Amino acid sequence: MNASVRVAVVARSEVARSGLARMLEDASHVRQYSVFEPEEFTASAREDAIQLLILSCDVLALWCVTGPGPEEDAWADELAAVARRNGIRVVLILPGAKVQRAASGEGVPCDGVLDQNALTTRGLDDALRRLSGGERILPQPTARTGAGTPAPEGSHPAGTRAGLLTERERQIIELLVEGLSNKQIGHALGVSEHAAKRAVAVMMSKLDCPNRTQAVVTALREGLVSAGVGPHV
């Protein structure tokens, strides 16, 4: 299968940038990708950054933590408009609660909307392929609430985030719950501290958790760890 899609990612969160980069590395349809911080488009060299973005992608992925609204519009709306004027497709990656609002046309103009909570490498790869081919990926109004309505391709029902994690990531979350540092996690897994840090970031991105504490809370609340595992006190 030939990789053909060029993707640019813009996200404020380092965890989101790392997580998406890892997914894009494994995506079979992605030929190349670039990762940017929103601040690059408000600095003195913003025009250079915008030109680089335009030249580097066919699809622009905007990871918006709060969803469409004043906190995100300042950079997301402008980048989306510039991208679409230059023939670049725009996909928003939003918290689940904000997906329907964006799909209904409120907020940042886009060609597709994906749910952060249900995002997988396979689902992202397929969405990018479809977007680059001219399709629009916008959930139906009842996609998340209508009884018996099929979920969008690549998504998972609410409350099944355990299925997003690999066996290694399940091991990592258990080590986090036990209170281990990145260095200790690396030692336990037989990898470097840097590799452990990256793996933790990817895992937190899949769980839509901004920090380690929230990841631990989510793991305990949703039963993502084995029975008997818990923080050391």
Domain ranges of the chain: 5-132, 161-221
Dump pLDDT digits (tens) for 81-103: 899 999 999 999 888 777 777 76
Owner of token pair 């989101």: 16
Q: Does domain 161-221 have CATH number 3.30.450.20?
A: no
- The set of long-range contacts for 72-76, using a CB threshold of 8 Å and a minimum separation of 24, is 72/107, 72/108, 73/107, 73/108, 74/42, 75/10, 75/38, 75/41, 75/42, 76/10, 76/38, 76/108
Asked whether 6 and 56 are in contact (CB, 8 A), the reply is yes
Dump pLDDT digits (tens) for 12-60: 888 888 889 999 999 999 999 999 988 888 777 788 888 998 898 999 9
pTM of the model: 0.58
- What CATH superfamily classification does 5-132 receive? Response regulator (3.40.50.2300)
Q: How far is CA 150 from CA 94, 129, 194, 206, in A?
A: 19, 21, 40, 21
Strand (E) or helix (H) holding 139: none
Instruction: State the angle between helix axes of 167-177 and 212-221 in degrees (0 to 180), rounded to the nearest 10.
Output: 110
